[in-house]
C-alpha cells in the first residue's frame, strides 16, 4: 500500500476516516486502494495520527553564534584562550563558561561540533539552514518548519500549524508550499499577535460574520464570483475559528506561574520560549523563536555575557519545562544559527562569519542526549572528524519528526523538490 | 574542451572575504587603469559587499586549489594584458550585425481581435458572456488602468454621459493619466521583487525603480527601450532606478539569466541551469551561454557605509572591464569548470561571441532580447497584459511560455504580438486595443459556469493586487493614502506623516543637509514601513502567479476583520465617513446605496437591500447596524476582487 494514498484520504481530528473521502479516493481510481479494507485504512490512519503528535521548536540564533563561546570551547589555546569551559551534567563534556544552566541539562542535549558549510552571507545562509537549499529565483523553497507543518499538522486544528516568534530578522516562509503553511508571525511574545482580538464583543462579531455570509451569497457568488467566494469563505471560516478558539489563550503567557516566567527570563526571547512550549502543548506543530545579537564583529567578550546569558536561562528552562510536561520525547528542540564565527579574534576584538566549522545542539524528539558528535582541530579552523552537512542535519531532523525526507513537493512549474535533497541521517543521534 | 580551473564565481565570493584575493580584483579592475594601482584597490573594496567570511578560509587553500587558482590567474592575466585589441573590433562588428529597428504602424483594431476570437468561440459552441453594464465596466477599467476604484463623482460622470463612445473615450483618458504609469510601475516592481534572491530592499532601492519606471510609462516609452535600459543599467541605484532589476539578482549572471528570460521573454530557461529542460527544448549549454552575457556584472557598494556619520551604503551595478570568463560547472564533476562564450538561445543563427567587453556584452544581449527578431519578447509582454486584463493568459502561468508549452488561441496572441512588435512596442496602443475589445468588456463568470470554463468567453474574476486593495480601502473609508488616517483623528500620526513627508522632500534633495544615501534609505524605509508598505507586506502576491492559485491568507482576513486601521475608521464617529453620511440623511436606503457605491462601486441589488433592511431591523440600532454593514462590505470577496 503506497503511503501517499493514505495521506490523500481525508480524516477528521479524532482519527476517524471520513468514508466520503475514502470513496472519493477510490472513485479517482487510485490503484490498490480498492483492495484495502476500510479497517486497514483506519489502522494506518492511526499511525499517521501518532506521527502528528511530533512537534519541533527551533531556537534560531540570528547572526551566527560563535562556536568557541557556546558548545565548542578551546580554553588554553591561542584562538580560544580567554574563554573558560565548565563541567556539565555529563562527565567529560565541557561547554563554554556562559552556559551554566544549559550545562545542567546536558543529559538531554546532543551537540554536533562538526557542522560544516560554505555560505558566509547572513541572508543566503539563513535561507539555506532553514530550507536545506541555496536560494534561487527559480524556486522559493519552503522552510523546513513549513514542510513539517504540512506533513504533521492536523487539518482540523484551529490554530496555525507554524508560528514564528520574535522580531530579530525575518524568517523563511512556505515558498512554493503556498500560503496555508506560511508561518504565523508573533512579533512580541508579551502581546497577543496582531489583529487576533476582536474590536467588538463576540456576539456582535459573530453577527457580523452571519451578515457577511448572507451578503456574499446574494451578491458576488450569484454574479460570477462563486469560486472566489468559496475560497474566501474557507479562509474566513478558518480565521474566525482561530479568533474565537478557546485555544487562543495559549498565546497569553501571563497566566503562567511568575516563578516559571522568571526562570525563562524576563525578556522577549525567554518569554518567547515559554510561548513556544504553550503553543506546542496546544497542538502547534512547529514554533521558531528567534534571538538576535549574535553577529559579534566587535568586542565579543562584552556582548556574549548578555546574549548567551538570556539564551542559557531560556534554553535550559525550556528543556526542563518540556520534560516536566512529558513533552520532550515528542518535541525536537533545535538550537542553531546560520553559521559560526572565526576562531581567531579580529582586530576589533570580535569574530567574523565562519561557515566552515560550527556547532548546533539538538534535544528531545528521540534524540540521544548527553553526547558530543564530531570535533574540530585545536585552532578551530577545520572540522577534525565526522563532518556534518546542512542536509545531513535536516535529514536527521526528518527522522526525529518521522517525516520522509525523500518526499517530493511539486513546484508551481511541476518540478519535484525533495524535502531534503540528499544527506544522510547522523545515526549517533538516535543510538 | 574541458579546462580545469577554479570557477570565477568562487573567486568573487572569496574576494568578498577581504584581503586575500584583493590582488586578483585589482588585476581584473586594473585592465582599464593599469597605472593606478591604489585606485584599483579602492574599487576592489567597493566590490566587496558586507559579507564577511573568515579570511583564513581563503588564505589557506589546499595545494590543488591553489594550483588551479594560480593557473586560472595566469590565464586571466594573459587575457587582461591584451584586452583592447580584439575587443573593440569584435564588439562593434557584433553590434553592427544586429538588424536595426523598423516601425510598421499596426493595422489591427479591437474588432480584428474580436473577429478572431469569435470565430474560435463559435467553433467551440461556447456560451459567450454578455457585455458588461456601464456600472461593471467603470469599476473594472479604473482598477485595471489606474489601480483604484472610481470615486463616486467619476462613476456618476461616466454613468450619466450619453456619449456613444464614452467607453473608448474613458479608456483614452485613463491611459494618459499618471495613475496608469504608477499602476504599471508598481506591477513590475512586484514582478521583480517577489522572486528576488536579494531580500535586502535597501540594496535594491525599489522606490527609485518605481519612480524611474512610472516616468517611462508616463512618456509611453516603447517597451524595448525600457527593457534595454534595465538590461544595461549601471551605476548607483539612487542615480539609476533601472539598476534595481540587476540588484534584485545580486548581479549574479546565473540569476540574471534566469530572470531576464522569465520576466522579459516568458521562458523558464533557468530549469536548464542544472539539467536539460525536462519539458522544453532548452539545453543546459544554452542556459549557460545565455548567462555568459552577464559575465563581469557585479553588485557593489558605490558609496561605502559610514556608521560614524550615519551614512548608509548606496548599492549599484558595476561592469568589471576587461576579459571576463564565464564557466559552467561540469555535470559529472562540479569542480571542473567549462568556459562558455555568450550565445543567444532564440533563433537558429545567433553566433557564439568571443572577446567582447563587459558593457558590449550586455548591449548585445539587450539587442538580442528586445530585438524585433525575437518573437518571445513581444509575446511575453502581450501575454502578461492580456492575462491581467482577462484574468487568464494565452499561456498560464503568464511567465511559462515556450515552443512546446500548451497555449490557447495562440493565433490571437501571435497576431497581436507580431503587430505590436512591428509597430515598435507602443504600450498605450496595446492597452487601448485590448481594452476596447468585446472580449475584455464581457461580464465575468466563475469557472463553474459554461462561459467561465471556456477561455475568453467571459472575463475571469481575479484577486486585486495589494496596491489596488490599499487604494480602494482608502477611498472607501475616505482616508488619504499617504497617512491612512483621518485628519485630526490622530495628532501623533499626523505629525509622523508630516515628518515622513519632509523625508520625502529630502529624498528629492531639497535639503542639502541630507545626503543622497540617507534620503534613499529614508525612502526605502517609508516604502517598506509606511502605511502602503505595511499593507503590501500582508496583502502582496507575486503577480506572475496564476489567477486560480492566488489564495487569501489568515493575516489578511485578520487585518480586514479586526485591525484598528479598518475598525476605527469604519466606525460612525463625528468626523468619519460613515458618521457624516448618517448625519446627512435619515433615509437608510440612501445610506445603503452610498456605502455600496463607495466600497463596491455599484448599487445594491433588491435582494441585498432586503438582507440589509432585515439586519437593521434585527439589530435595532442604526449606527451599529450600518457599521456592521460597512464591515461586511469591506470583508466581502467582491471588495478584494476584480470582476
A133 shares a domain with A84: yes
Please give the pLDDT value at position B52. 38
Is pTM beyond 0.80? Reply is no
- Asked whether residue A227 is assigned to any structural domain, the reply reads yes
Q: Are residues A269 and A297 in the same domain?
A: yes
Residues A29, A96 within the same domain:
no
Q: Is residue A358 part of a domain?
A: yes
Q: How confident is the model at residue B56 (pLDDT cuts 50, 70, 90)?
A: very low
A273 and A138 in a common domain: yes
Q: Which of B1-10, B337-346, B497-506 has the highest mean pLDDT?
A: B337-346
Q: Are residues A73 and A91 in the same domain?
A: yes
A404 part of a folded domain: yes
pLDDT at A21 exceeding the cut of 90: no
Return the number of other C-beta atoms located less than 10 Å from residue B354's C-beta.
12
**pLDDT tens sequence across B86-115:** 456 777 788 888 999 999 999 999 999 999
Q: Does A160 touch chain B (CB under 8 A)?
A: yes
* pLDDT band, residue B40 (cuts 50/70/90): very low
| Residue A337 and residue A413 in one domain | yes
Residues for chain A: how many in total?
431
pLDDT tens profile A83-119: 999 999 999 999 999 999 999 999 999 999 999 999 9
Using the Cβ of A350 and the Cβ atoms of chain B, whether some distance falls under 8 Å is answered with no
What does the angle CA B298 – CA B303 – CA B304 come to, to the nearest 5 degrees?
Answer: 95
Which pLDDT belongs to residue B25?
34
Residue with cell 461616466: B158
Where among A218, A240, A262 does a domain terminate? A240
How far is it, in rounded angstroms, from Cα A116 to Cα A381? 11
Task: Report pLDDT for B495.
Answer: 63
Has residue A197 been placed in a domain?
no
Mean pLDDT of B465-476: 95
CA dist., res. B643 & res. B601, Å (int): 11
CATH code (residue A322):
3.40.720.10
| pLDDT over threshold 90, residue A156 | no
Residues of B in contact with A138 (CB under 8 A): 258, 268, 270-271, 273
Q: Are residues A8 and A68 in the same domain?
A: no
What is residue B497's predicted lDDT score, i.e. its pLDDT? 62
Same domain, A187 and A325: yes
Report the Cα B424 to chain-centroid distance in Å. Answer: 22
Confidence class of residue B218 from pLDDT cuts 50, 70 and 90?
A: very high
Checking if the pLDDT of A265 tops 90, the result is: yes
What are B154-183's pLDDT values in tens digits?
999 999 999 999 999 999 999 999 999 999
Return the residue matching grid coordinates 476582536: A198
| Rounded alpha-carbon distances, angstroms, from residue B111 to A174, B119, B433, B442 | 44, 12, 9, 14
Region B548-552: mean pLDDT is 81
Per-residue confidence at B402, pLDDT binned at 50, 70, 90?
confident
Same domain, A218 and A334: no
* Interface test mutation site (partner B, options A175, A210, A224, A341, max chain B beta carbons within 10 A): A224
Picking from A184, A217, A240, the residue at the C-terminal end of a domain is: A240
Helical segments of A202-328, H only: 202-218, 226-244, 258-264, 268-282, 300-324
- Hey, are the CB atoms on A208 and B608 less than 8 Å from each other? no
- pLDDT-based confidence at B493, cuts 50/70/90? low
Alpha-carbon span A220 to A225, nearest angstrom: 5
Flag whether A225 is in a domain: yes
Say whether pLDDT at A121 is over 90. Answer: no
How far apart, in whole angstroms, are the C-alpha atoms of residue A191 and residue A189? Answer: 5
pLDDT at residue B90, rounded to an integer: 74
Q: Which of residues 200-259 of A touch B (CB under 8 A)?
A: 200, 204-205, 207-208, 211-212, 214-216, 218-221, 223-229, 231-233, 235-236, 238-240, 242-243
pLDDT of residue B58 exceeding 50: no
Binning pLDDT at 50, 70 and 90, where does residue A30 land?
very low
Residues A227 and A302 in one domain: no
Instruction: Give the other-Cβ count within 10 Å of B583's Cβ.
Output: 10
Tally DSSP H helices, then E strands, for chain A. 12, 16
Average pLDDT over residues A390-395: 97
Residue B589 per-residue DSSP state: H
Cross-chain CB nearest to B255 (options A123, A137, A184): A137
Residue A281 lies in a domain: yes
Is position A128 within any domain? yes
Residues A235, A367, single domain; the answer is no
Phi/psi at B317 (5° precision) = -115, 130
Task: Give the whole-angstrom CA distance, residue A36 versus residue B588.
Answer: 62
Of residues A166 and B170, the one with the higher pLDDT is B170
Question: Residue A139: which pLDDT band, with cuts at 50, 70 and 90?
Answer: confident
B617-632 in b/e burial notation, b at 16+ Cβ within 10 A?
eebeeeebbbbbbbbb
- Whole-number Å distance between alpha carbons of B430 and B440: 13
* pLDDT at res. A124: 87
Query: How many beta-carbon contacts under 8 Å exist across A and B?
Result: 202
Q: What is the pLDDT of residue B78?
A: 46
A299 and A402 belong to one structural domain? yes
Give B587-630 pLDDT, tens digit per residue.
999 999 999 999 999 999 999 999 999 999 999 999 999 999 99
Residue of higher predicted confidence among B634 and A10: B634
pLDDT of residue A399: 96
Expressed as residue numbers, the domain containing A360 is 53-192+252-430
B641: pLDDT strictly greater than 70? yes
For residue range A289-303, list pLDDT tens digits in order.
999 999 999 889 989
| Higher per-residue pLDDT: B5 or A201 | A201
Q: Into how many domains does chain A fold? A: 3
A406 found inside a domain: yes
B342's grid cell: 555568450
Residue A262: predicted pLDDT: 97
Residue A26 has pLDDT above 90, yes or no: no
Q: Where are the beta strands (DSSP E) in B296-452?
A: 297-303, 314-319, 326-329, 337-340
Amino acid at each position: 500500500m503506497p503511503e501517499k494514498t493514505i495521506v490523500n484520504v481525508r480524516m477528521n481530528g479524532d482519527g476517524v476516516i471520513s468514508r466520503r473521502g475514502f470513496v472519493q479516493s477510490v472513485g479517482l481510481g487510485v490503484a490498490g486502494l480498492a483492495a484495502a479494507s476500510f479497517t486497514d485504512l483506519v489502522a494506518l490512519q492511526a499511525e499517521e495520527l501518532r506521527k502528528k503528535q511530533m512537534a519541533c521548536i527551533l531556537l534560531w540564533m540570528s547572526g551566527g553564534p560563535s562556536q568557541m563561546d557556546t558548545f565548542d570551547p578551546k580554553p588554553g589555546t591561542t584562538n580560544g584562550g580567554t574563554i573558560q569551559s565548565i563541567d556539565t551534567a555529563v562527565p567529560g563534556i565541557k561547554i563554554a563558561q556562559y552556559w551554566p544552566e544549559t550545562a545542567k541539562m546536558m543529559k538531554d542535549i546532543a551537540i554536533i561540533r562538526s557542522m560544516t558549510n560554505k555560505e558566509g552571507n547572513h541572508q543566503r545562509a539563513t535561507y539555506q539552514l532553514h530550507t536545506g537549499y541555496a536560494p534561487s529565483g527559480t524556486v522559493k523553497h519552503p522552510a523546513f518548519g513549513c514542510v513539517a507543518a504540512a506533513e504533521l499538522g492536523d487539518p482540523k486544528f484551529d490554530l496555525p500549524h507554524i508560528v514564528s516568534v520574535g522580531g530579530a530578522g525575518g524568517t523563511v516562509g512556505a515558498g512554493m508550499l503556498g500560503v496555508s503553511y506560511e508561518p504565523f508571525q508573533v512579533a512580541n511574545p508579551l502581546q497577543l499577535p496582531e489583529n487576533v482580538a476582536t474590536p467588538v464583543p463576540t456576539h456582535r462579531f459573530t453577527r457580523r460574520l452571519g451578515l457577511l455570509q448572507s451578503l456574499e451569497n446574494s451578491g458576488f457568488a450569484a454574479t460570477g464570483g462563486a469560486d472566489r467566494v468559496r475560497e474566501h469563505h474557507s479562509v474566513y471560516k478558518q480565521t474566525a475559528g482561530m479568533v474565537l478558539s478557546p485555544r487562543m489563550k495559549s498565546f497569553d503567557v501571563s497566566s503562567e506561574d511568575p516563578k516559571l516566567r522568571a526562570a525563562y527570563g524576563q525578556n522577549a526571547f525567554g518569554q518567547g520560549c515559554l510561548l513556544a512550549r504553550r503553543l506546542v502543548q496546544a497542538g502547534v506543530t512547529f514554533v521558531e523563536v528567534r534571538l538576535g545579537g549574535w553577529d559579534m564583529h566587535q568586542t565579543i567578550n562584552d556582548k556574549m555575557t548578555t546574549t548567551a546569558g538570556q539564551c542559557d536561562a531560556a534554553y535550559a528552562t525550556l528543556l526542563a519545562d518540556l520534560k516536566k510536561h512529558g513533552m520532550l520525547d515528542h518535541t525536537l528542540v533545535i538550537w542553531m544559527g546560520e553559521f559560526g564565527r572565526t576562531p581567531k579574534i579580529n582586530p576589533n576584538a570580535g569574530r567574523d562569519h565562519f561557515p566552515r566549522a560550527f556547532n548546533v545542539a539538538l534535544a528531545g524528539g528521540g534524540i540521544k542526549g548527553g553526547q558530543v558528535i564530531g570535533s574540530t582541530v585545536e585552532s578551530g579552523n577545520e572540522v577534525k572528524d565526522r563532518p556534518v552537512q546542512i542536509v545531513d542535519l535536516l535529514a536527521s531532523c526528518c527522522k526525529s519528526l518521522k517525516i520522509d525526507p525523500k518526499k517530493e513537493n511539486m513546484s508551481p512549474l511541476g518540478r519535484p523538490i525533495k524535502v531534503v535533497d540528499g544527506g544522510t541521517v547522523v545515526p549517533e543521534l538516535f543510538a | 574542451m574541458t579546462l580545469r580551473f577554479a570557477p570565477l564565481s568562487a573567486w568573487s565570493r572569496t574576494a568578498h572575504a577581504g584581503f586575500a584575493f584583493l590582488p586578483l580584483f585589482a588585476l581584473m579592475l586594473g585592465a582599464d587603469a593599469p597605472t593606478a594601482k591604489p585606485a584599483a584597490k579602492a574599487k576592489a573594496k567597493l566590490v566587496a559587499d558586507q559579507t564577511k567570511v573568515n579570511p583564513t578560509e581563503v588564505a589557506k587553500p589546499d595545494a590543488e586549489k591553489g594550483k588551479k587558482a594560480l593557473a586560472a590567474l595566469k590565464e586571466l592575466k594573459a587575457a587582461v594584458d591584451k584586452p583592447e585589441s580584439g575587443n573593440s573590433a569584435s564588439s562593434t562588428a557584433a553590434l553592427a550585425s544586429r538588424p536595426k529597428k523598423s516601425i510598421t504602424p499596426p493595422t489591427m483594431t479591437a474588432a480584428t481581435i474580436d473577429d478572431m476570437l469569435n470565430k474560435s468561440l463559435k467553433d467551440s459552441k461556447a456560451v459567450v458572456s454578455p457585455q458588461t453594464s456601464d456600472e461593471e465596466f467603470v469599476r473594472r477599467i479604473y482598477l485595471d488602468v489606474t489601480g483604484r476604484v472610481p470615486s463616486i463623482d467619476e462613476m456618476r460622470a461616466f454613468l450619466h454621459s450619453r456619449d456613444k463612445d464614452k467607453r473608448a473615450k474613458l479608456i483614452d483618458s485613463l491611459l494618459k493619466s499618471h495613475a496608469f504609469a504608477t499602476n504599471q510601475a508598481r506591477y513590475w516592481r512586484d514582478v521583480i521583487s517577489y522572486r528576488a534572491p536579494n531580500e535586502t530592499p535597501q540594496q535594491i532601492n525599489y522606490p527609485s525603480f518605481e519612480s524611474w519606471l512610472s516616468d517611462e510609462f508616463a512618456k509611453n516609452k516603447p517597451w524595448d527601450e525600457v527593457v534595454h535600459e534595465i538590461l544595461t543599467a549601471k551605476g548607483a541605484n539612487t542615480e539609476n532606478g533601472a539598476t534595481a532589476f540587476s540588484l534584485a539578482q545580486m548581479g549574479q549572471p546565473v540569476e540574471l539569466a534566469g530572470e531576464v528570460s522569465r520576466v522579459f521573454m516568458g521562458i523558464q530557461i533557468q530549469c536548464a541551469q542544472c539539467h536539460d529542460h525536462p519539458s522544453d527544448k532548452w539545453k543546459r549549454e544554452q542556459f549557460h551561454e545565455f548567462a555568459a552575457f552577464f559575465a563581469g556584472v557585479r553588485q557593489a557598494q558605490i558609496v561605502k557605509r559610514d556608521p560614524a556619520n550615519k551614512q548608509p551604503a548606496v548599492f549599484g551595478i558595476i561592469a568589471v572591464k576587461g576579459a571576463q570568463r564565464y564557466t559552467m560547472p561540469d555535470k559529472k564533476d562540479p569542480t571542473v569548470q567549462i568556459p562558455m562564450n555568450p550565445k543567444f538561445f532564440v533563433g537558429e543563427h545567433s553566433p557564439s561571441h568571443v572577446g567582447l567587453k563587459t558593457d558590449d556584452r550586455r548591449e548585445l544581449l539587450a539587442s538580442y532580447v528586445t530585438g524585433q527578431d525575437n518573437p518571445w519578447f513581444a509575446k511575453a509582454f502581450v501575454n502578461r497584459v492580456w492575462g491581467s486584463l482577462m484574468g487568464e493568459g494565452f499561456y498560464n502561468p503568464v511567465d511559462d511560455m515556450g515552443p512546446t508549452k500548451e497555449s490557447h488561441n495562440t493565433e490571437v496572441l501571435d497576431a497581436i504580438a507580431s503587430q505590436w512588435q512591428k509597430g515598435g512596442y507602443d504600450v498605450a496602443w496595446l492597452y487601448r486595443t485590448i481594452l476596447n475589445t468585446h472580449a475584455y468588456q464581457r461580464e465575468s463568470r466563475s469557472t463553474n459556469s459554461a462561459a467561465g470554463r471556456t477561455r475568453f468567453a467571459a472575463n475571469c474574476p481575479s484577486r486585486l493586487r495589494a496596491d489596488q486593495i490599499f487604494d480602494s480601502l482608502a477611498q472607501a473609508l475616505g482616508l488619504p493614502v499617504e497617512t491612512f488616517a483621518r485628519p485630526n483623528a490622530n495628532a501623533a500620526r499626523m505629525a509622523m506623516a508630516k515628518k515622513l513627508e519632509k523625508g520625502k522632500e529630502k529624498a528629492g534633495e531639497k535639503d542639502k543637509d541630507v545626503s543622497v544615501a540617507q534620503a534613499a534609505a529614508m525612502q526605502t524605509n517609508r516604502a517598506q514601513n509606511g502605511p502602503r508598505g505595511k499593507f503590501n507586506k500582508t496583502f502582496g502576491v507575486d503577480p506572475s502567479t496564476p489567477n486560480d492559485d492566488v489564495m487569501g491568507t489568515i493575516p489578511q482576513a485578520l487585518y480586514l476583520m479586526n485591525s484598528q486601521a479598518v475598525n476605527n475608521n469604519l466606525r460612525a464617529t463625528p468626523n468619519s465617513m460613515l458618521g457624516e453620511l448618517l448625519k446627512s440623511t435619515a433615509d437608510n436606503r440612501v445610506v445603503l446605496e452610498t456605502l455600496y457605491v463607495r466600497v463596491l462601486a455599484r448599487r445594491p441589488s433588491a435582494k441585498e437591500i432586503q438582507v440589509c433592511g432585515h439586519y437593521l431591523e434585527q439589530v435595532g440600532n442604526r449606527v451599529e447596524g450600518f457599521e456592521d454593514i460597512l464591515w461586511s462590505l469591506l470583508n466581502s470577496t467582491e471588495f478584494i476582487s476584480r470582476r
